[in-house]
Amino acid sequence: MNHRTRRKTKMFTSHSLRRGWQRCLAGVAALALAGSMAASPAQAATSEAPASENVLRIATDGFIDSFNPFTSFYLVPTNTFRYMYENLVANDAKDGSVTEGLATEWNTDSEGKVWTYTIRPDMKWSDGEPLTSKDVAWTYNQMMEKEEMAVANGSLVENFDKVETPDDDTVRITLKKPQANNPGQEIPVVPEHVWSKIDKPGEFKNDEKSVGSGPFQLESYQANKSITLKANPNFWRGKPKLDEIQYRYYTNSDAQVQAIRSGEVDFITGLSPDQFTALENADNVELNDGNGRRFNGISINPGVADAEGKEFGTGNEALKDKKVRQAIRAGIDTETLRKQVMQDYAQPATSFIPAVYPDWALKSDNSVISGFDVAKAKKLLDGAGWKEGSGGIREKDGEKLQLRFLTDADAPIEQSTAKFIKPWMKDIGIDLKNESSDVDTVSERTTKGDYDMYFSGWSINPDPDYQLSINTCGQRPDADGNGGTSQDGWCNKEFDKLYQAQHVELDQAKRQDLVQKAQAIHYEEAPSVTLWYPNQLEAYRSDRFDNFTKQPSDGGAIANQVGYWGYSSVEPVSEEEATGGGMGAGGWIGIAAAVIVVLGGGGWLLSRRKKSDDRE
Amino acid sequence: MSTPTHDPHSGDRPDRGPGTSNPGTDPTNPSPASARGSAATADADPANPANPATADMDEPPAGGSFTRYFLRKLGGAATSMVLVIVLGFFAFRMLPGDPVLKIAKERPMSPAQIAELRSQYGLDKPVIVQFWDYLVGIVTGDLGESYVYRKSVSALIGEYLGPTLLLTATAAVIAIVLGLWLGQISAWRRNSLFDKLASSTSLIFWSVPTFWLGLILLMIFGGTLQWLPTGGMITPGLDPWSPAGIIDVIKHLILPVISLVAVVYAQFLMIMRASLLEEMNEDYLTTARAKGLTEDEVRRRHAVPNALLPTVTVVFLHIGGLIAGAVTVEAVFSWPGLGKLTFEAIRGPDLPLLQGTFVVFSAIIIVMNLAADIVYRFLDPRVRRA
Mean pLDDT of B191-209: 91
pLDDT at A24: 39
**Average pLDDT of A91-115?**
93
Angstroms from A526 CA to nearest CA on chain B? 20
Q: Which residues pair with A394 in a beta bridge?
A: A388
Residue of A47, A146, A253 to mutate, testing the B interface (most B Cβ within 10 Å of its Cβ): A47
Q: Would the CB atoms of B236 and A150 count as touching at under 8 Å?
A: no
- Contact A258/B223, CB-based, under 8 Å? yes
Q: Which helix (H) or strand (E) holds A332?
A: none
pLDDT tens-digit series, residues A489-542 = 999 999 999 999 999 999 999 999 999 999 999 999 999 999 999 999 999 999
Hey, are the CB atoms on B228 and A47 less than 8 Å from each other? yes
Report the side by side order of strands in the sheet with A394-396.
A387-388, A394-396, A399-400
Judged by CB atoms closer than 8 Å, whether chains meet at A583 and B178 is answered as: no
Lowest mean pLDDT segment, chosen from A66-70, A287-291, A353-357, B375-379 = B375-379
Extract long-range pairs of A140-148: CB within 8 Å, 24+ residues apart. Answer: A140/A173, A140/A187, A142/A70, A142/A195, A142/A201, A143/A70, A143/A187, A146/A202, A147/B116, A148/A70, A148/A71, A148/A200, A148/A202, A148/A203, A148/B116
Contact A224 B336 (CB under 8 A): yes
Taking CB atoms and an 8 Å cutoff, what residues of chain B touch A205? 150
CB contact (8 A) between residue B149 and residue A65? yes
Residues B112 and B333: their CA atoms lie apart, in Å, by: 39
What CA–CA distance (Å, rounded) separates A334 from A453?
16
Q: Which residues contact A351 (CB under 8 A, 6 or more apart)?
A: A361, A362, A519, A522, A523, A530
Q: Is the pLDDT of residue A371 over 90?
A: no
Contact A74 B251 (CB under 8 A): no
- Higher per-residue confidence, B30 vs A154: A154
Q: Is the pLDDT of residue B78 over 90?
A: yes
Residues of A in contact with B178 (CB under 8 A): 599
Given a cut of 60, whether residue B10 has pLDDT beyond it is no
* Cβ–Cβ gap B98/A481 under 8 Å: yes
Please choose, from the candidates A542, A565, A543, the residue with its C-alpha nearest in 3D space to the C-alpha of residue A553.
A565
Tell me which of B117, B216, B226 to substitute to probe the interface with A (most A C-beta atoms closer than 10 Å).
B226
pLDDT band at B118 (very low <50, low <70, confident <90, very high): confident
- Cβ atoms of A92 and A109 closer than 8 Å: no
Average pLDDT, chain B: 78
Q: CB of A161 within 8 A of CB of A174?
A: yes
Q: Name which of A73, A158, A254 is nearest B103 (Cβ-Cβ).
A: A73
Amino acid (1-letter code) at residue A263 = G
Mean per-residue pLDDT for A18-23?
39
Element (H, E) at A7: helix A2-13
Strands (E), chain B: none
Which range (A10-24, A482-496, B197-211) has the least confidence?
Answer: A10-24
Q: Are B147 and B351 in contact (CB under 8 A)?
A: yes
Contact A444 B182 (CB under 8 A): no
Reported confidence tier of residue B296, pLDDT bands at 50, 70, 90: confident
Helix A602-615 vs helix B193-207: crossing angle, to nearest 10: 150
- pLDDT reported for residue A577: 46
> Average pLDDT in the B228-244 region?
87
Shortest distance, CA A390 to any CA of chain B (angstroms): 38
- Chain B nearest CA to A484, separation (Å): 5
Structure pTM? 0.79
Q: Which of B150, B189, B193 sits opposite A66 (nearest CB)?
A: B150
| Mean per-residue pLDDT, B338-354 | 85
Q: What is the CATH number of domain B156-385?
A: 1.10.3720.10
pLDDT at B281: 83
DSSP3 helix / strand / coil % (chain B, rounded to 5): 70, 0, 30
* SS3 label, residue A93: coil
pLDDT tens digits along A27-50 = 433 333 343 333 333 333 333 444
Could B227 and A48 be called an inter-chain contact, meaning their C-beta atoms sit closer than 8 Å? no
**Rounded mean pLDDT of chain A?**
85
DSSP-based three-state secondary structure for A36: helix
Is the confidence at residue B19, as pLDDT, over 70? no
Residue B57, pLDDT > 50, answer no
What is residue B235's predicted lDDT score, i.e. its pLDDT? 87
Angstrom distance (rounded) from CA A105 to CA A116: 9
Residues of B in contact with A257 (CB under 8 A): 223
Q: How far apart are CA A286 and CA B11, in angstroms?
A: 50
Query: Mean pLDDT across the stretch B110-123?
Result: 80
Q: How confident is the model at residue B306 (pLDDT cuts 50, 70, 90)?
A: confident
Least CB–CB distance from B331: residue in A251, A263, A483: A251
| Residue A27 confidence (pLDDT) | 40
Which pLDDT value is given to residue B23?
Answer: 35
Residues of A in contact with B194 (CB under 8 A): 603, 606-607, 610
The mean pLDDT of B39-52, rounded to a whole number, is: 40
Q: Cβ contacts of residue A79 below 8 Å, gap of 6+?
A: A559, A560
Q: What pLDDT digit, counting tens, does each position of A428-460 carry? A: 999 999 999 988 889 889 988 999 999 999 999
Residue B116 — very low, low, confident or very high, per pLDDT cuts 50/70/90? Answer: confident
pLDDT value for B381: 62
A407 DSSP β-pair partners: A436
Taking an 8 Å cut-off on Cβ atoms, the answer to whether A49 and B238 are in contact is yes
> What pLDDT band is residue B264 in, cutting at 50, 70 and 90?
confident
Give the residues across from A170 on adjacent strands: A118, A167
Residue A592's pLDDT band (cuts 50, 70, 90)? low
The share of chain B scoring above pLDDT 90, in percent, equals: 23
Are A252 and B331 an interchain contact pair (Cβ–Cβ within 8 Å)? Answer: yes
Tell me which residue of A488, A420, A415 sits closest to A457, measured CA to CA. A488
Question: In terms of CA atoms, which chain B residue is nearest residue A52?
Answer: B237
Q: How close is the nearest chain B Cα to the Cα of A504, in Å?
A: 19
Provide the number of CB pairs (under 8 Å) joining chain A to chain B: 198
For residues B244 and B149, what is the distance between their CA atoms, to the nearest angstrom?
30
Question: Minimal Cα–Cα distance from A609 to chain B, Å?
Answer: 11
Residue pair A177/A96 in contact (Cβ under 8 Å)? The answer is: no
pLDDT for position A55? 94
| A127-143 average pLDDT score | 95
The residue that leads in pLDDT, B9 or A345, is: A345
Kind and range of the H or E run holding A219 = strand A216-222
Checking ipTM against 0.85, whether it exceeds it is: no
Residues of chain B with C-beta less than 8 angstroms from the C-beta of A22: none
- Rounded Cα distance between B132 and A54, Å, is 53
For residues A33 and A594, the answer to whether their CB atoms sit within 8 Å is yes
Residues of chain B positioned with their CB less than 8 A from the CB of A45: 226
What is the percentage of chain B residues whose pLDDT exceeds 70? 81
Residue B224: predicted pLDDT: 87
Which chain B residues are within 8 Å of A63, Cβ to Cβ? Answer: 148, 344, 347-348
A378 Cα to chain B: minimum distance (Å):
34
Q: Helix axis angle, A493-504 relative to A508-525, nearest 10°?
A: 160
Q: Is B11 a residue whose pLDDT tops 80?
A: no
**A413 or A583, which is more confident:** A413
- Supply the pLDDT for residue A434: 94
Q: Do A395 and A401 form a contact (C-beta atoms < 8 A)?
A: yes
pLDDT computed for residue A590 by the predictor? 54
CA torsion sign, A282 to B209 to B364 to B138?
negative
User: Which of B334, B335, B344, B346 best tests the A interface by mutation, with the highest count of A CBs <10 A?
Assistant: B334
* Helices and strands per DSSP (H, E), number in chain A: 19, 26
Rounded to whole angstroms, the Cα distance separating A448 from A434 reads: 18
Contacts of B96 in chain A (CB under 8 A): 438, 440-441, 443-444
Is 60 exceeded by the pLDDT of residue A611?
A: no
**pLDDT score of A440:** 83
Question: pLDDT (tens digit, 9 = 90+) per residue, B269-285?
Answer: 998 999 899 888 888 88
For chain A, how far is it from start to end, CA to CA, in angstroms? 36
Q: Which of B354, B347, B344, B353 is nearest to B97 (CA)?
A: B347
Nearest to A346 by CA among A396, A265, A273: A273
Q: Give me the pLDDT at residue A155, please.
A: 85
pLDDT of residue B75: 92
Which among B215, B233, B294 has the least Cβ separation from residue A254? B215
Whole-angstrom distance, CA of residue A17 vs CA of residue A10: 9
**Cα A166–Cα A170–Cα A171 angle in degrees, nearest 5:** 85
Chain A partners of B119 at a C-beta cutoff of 8 Å? none
- Closest residue in A to B184 (Cα–Cα): A607
Listed in order, strand segments (DSSP E) in A8-54 are: none
Residue A13 in this model has a pLDDT that exceeds 50: no
Lowest-confidence segment of A503-512, B102-111, B263-272 by average pLDDT: B102-111
- Best probe of the A interface among B227, B250, B351, by most A CBs < 10 A, is B227
The answer to whether B326 and B339 have CB atoms below 8 angstroms apart is yes
Region A297-325: mean pLDDT is: 93
Q: What is d(CA A120, CA A102) in angstroms, rounded to the nearest whole number?
A: 6
Strand partners, A46: none
CA distance A454 to A354: 20
Q: Residue A536 contacts by C-beta under 8 Å, 6 or more apart in sequence?
A: A269, A270, A290, A291, A292, A294, A557, A558, A559, A560
Average pLDDT value for residue range A551-578: 86
Mean pLDDT, rounded, for A262-290: 93
Helices B153-188 and B193-207, axial angle in degrees (round to 10): 160
- Mention every residue, 6+ apart, whose C-beta is less than 8 A from residue A127: A191, A194, A211
Mark A378-412 as b/e (b = at least 16 C-beta within 10 Å).
bebbeebebeeeeeebbebeeeebebbbbbbeeee
